């Protein structure tokens, strides 16, 4: 069996249920194993990349590694020529292990450990963010050749599901002192960064932040700094419905309104969830069952301490009764029951879903969770001794057909 992160393949079957067919082929190919596993669909990665380029052609993505550091995904995104947003030494090491040039990495953590800064300097990663004078002191001491982006607090967080401004970003009255601090330290500030927050729901928040960034550009010019040349729009992009297109329209409008007289400014962004969320599918095994009246309760071998984190309320598992109903594994047309899904740990809070209708399943059947690539694997832990970090990723291309 391959190590975690290695590309694994299995037969491809082309139809509308290509991923389920692929999952079944994996299950059949390893009959002795019921371990959970991910499937990465590289066709979905290609679709998300094309969607980004179509809507934001002037904005280069720097994928936020923290969202999902799976090497198979990083490898695919590297092949598109994208950059990478790294927050630590280990993330930088993962990207560099794929032969990605260090100039395609932004060390986008406004507060960095000194030893990590020293590593970045040695690795040739020469772009980072800051939002305090104390960070200026560390960078001056440990990486004086590093170029800086001043990270500002966005004036509007767009109703983000996970806002970040309480922790990161310079306030308007702090901008000029921070620019002058870098100037005094003889560090080169080349641009501005912001982050609306994960899962922002309103595109106008990006436009407001772009306006605030332009004010920083003007402040830098007023105090005699070299001309700023880079604008980092941060992350927070959703792939749901038409929300991304709406956000992209607001970004395009904001760039036109506030930066049309700055044609030499490079614009980048740090999408994470946008790329990782839709392209992974998680398969988990049913390891236990209890029946109380008409209600069914199932235990799975992964849960909320692992990779089963349903941030999107519309993500629901598909039954995959390979063991008990091989002639109809998707249980099409079968009677359903109110069901509860538990993770494997001894914590009662490890409850994934309640009152969810599912067909009758048996131990050794499977449940399949689509669109589970965003902040699932990366925030999993080994609570109760369940080693979720060993979950394998299988790679497929759902558009490829195998001719019979």
Q: Along the 404 residues of the chain, how does pLDDT read in single tens digits? A: 333 433 343 333 334 579 999 999 999 999 888 999 999 999 999 999 999 999 999 999 999 999 999 999 999 999 999 999 999 999 999 999 999 999 999 999 999 999 999 999 999 999 999 999 999 999 999 999 999 999 999 987 766 677 777 889 999 999 999 999 999 999 999 999 999 978 777 888 999 999 999 999 999 999 999 999 999 999 989 888 788 999 999 999 999 999 999 999 999 999 999 999 999 999 999 999 999 999 999 999 999 998 888 776 677 899 999 899 999 999 999 999 999 999 999 999 999 999 999 999 999 999 999 999 988 888 888 888 887 767 999 999 998 844 32
Average pLDDT, rounded, for the chain: 91
pLDDT for res 158: 60
Spatial distance between the Cα atoms of 52 and 254, rounded to a whole number of angstroms: 17
pTM: predicted TM-score of the whole model, two decimal places: 0.92
Backbone angles phi, psi at 389, to 5 degrees: -70, -10
Told to judge if 67 belongs to the known catalytic residues of this protein, a careful annotator would answer no
pLDDT tens for each residue of 167-196: 899 999 999 999 999 999 999 999 999 999
Alpha helices, DSSP H only, in 185-242? 204-222
pLDDT for res 7: 39
Spatial distance between the Cα atoms of 48 and 317, rounded to a whole number of angstroms: 22
358, two tokens: 């599912």
pLDDT tens for each residue of 3-55: 343 334 333 333 457 999 999 999 999 988 899 999 999 999 999 999 999 99
Q: How many residues does the chain have?
A: 404
DSSP sequence for 142-181: H-TT-EEEEEB--S--TT-SB--TTTS-B-HHHHHHHHHH
DSSP sequence for 12-61: ---STTHHHHHHHHHHHH-TT----EEEEEHHHHHHHHHHHHHH-TTEEE
pLDDT for res 388: 72
216, two tokens: 């920083």
Spatial distance between the Cα atoms of 298 and 290, rounded to a whole number of angstroms: 6
355, two tokens: 């009152």
Query: Which listed CATH number (3.40.50.2300, 3.20.20.10, 3.40.190.150, 3.40.50.970) goes with 69-271?
Result: 3.20.20.10
Q: CATH homologous superfamily of domain 18-41+280-396?
A: Lyase, Ornithine Decarboxylase; Chain A, domain 1 (2.40.37.10)
Catalytic residue among 111, 198, 250, 346: 346
Domain map (residue ranges) of the chain: 18-41+280-396, 69-271
Spatial distance between the Cα atoms of 222 and 190, rounded to a whole number of angstroms: 15
Sign of CA dihedral 200, 206, 207, 212: positive
* Cβ neighbours, 10 Å, residue 349: 9
pLDDT for res 396: 94
């Amino acid at each position: 069996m391959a190590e975690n992160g290695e590309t694994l393949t299995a037969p491809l079957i082309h139809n509308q249920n290509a991923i389920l067919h692929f999952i079944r082929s994996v299950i059949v190919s390893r009959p002795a194993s019921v371990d959970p596993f991910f499937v990465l669909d590289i066709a979905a990665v290609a679709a998300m990349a094309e969607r980004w380029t179509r809507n934001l052609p002037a904005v280069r993505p720097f994928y936020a590694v923290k969202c999902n550091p799976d090497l198979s995904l990083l490898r695919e995104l590297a092949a598109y020529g994208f950059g990478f947003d790294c927050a630590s030494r280990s993330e930088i090491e993962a990207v560099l292990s794929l032969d990605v040039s260090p100039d395609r990495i932004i060390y986008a953590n406004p507060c960095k450990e000194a030893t990590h800064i020293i590593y970045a300097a040695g690795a040739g990663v020469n772009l980072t963010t800051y939002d305090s004078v104390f960070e200026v002191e560390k960078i001056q001491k440990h990486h004086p050749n590093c170029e800086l982006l001043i990270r500002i607090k966005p004036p509007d967080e767009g109703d983000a599901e996970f806002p970040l401004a309480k922790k990161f970003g310079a306030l308007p009255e702090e901008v000029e002192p921070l620019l002058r601090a870098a100037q005094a330290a003889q560090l080169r500030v080349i641009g501005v960064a912001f982050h609306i927050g994960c899962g922002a729901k309103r595109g106008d928040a990006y436009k407001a932040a772009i306006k605030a960034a332009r004010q920083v550009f003007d402040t830098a010019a007023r105090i005699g700094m070299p001309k700023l040349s880079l604008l980092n729009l941060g992350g927070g992009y959703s792939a749901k419905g038409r929300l991304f297109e709406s956000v992209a329209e607001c970004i395009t409008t904001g760039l036109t309104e506030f930066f049309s007289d700055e044609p030499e400014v490079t614009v980048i962004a740090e999408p994470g969830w946008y790329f990782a969320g839709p392209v992974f599918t998680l398969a988990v095994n049913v390891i236990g069952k209890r029946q109380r009246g008409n209600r069914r309760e199932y235990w799975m071998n992964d849960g909320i301490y692992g990779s089963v984190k349903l941030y999107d309320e519309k993500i629901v598992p598909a039954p995959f009764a390979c063991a008990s109903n091989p002639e109809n594994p998707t249980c099409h047309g079968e009677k359903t029951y109110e069901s509860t899904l538990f993770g494997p740990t001894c914590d009662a809070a490890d409850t994934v879903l309640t009152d969810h209708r599912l067909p009758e399943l048996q131990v050794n059947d499977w449940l399949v969770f689509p669109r589970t690539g965003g902040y699932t694997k990366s925030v999993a832990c080994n609570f109760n001794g369940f080693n979720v970090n060993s979950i394998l990723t299988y790679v497929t291309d759902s558009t490829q057909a195998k001719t019979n």
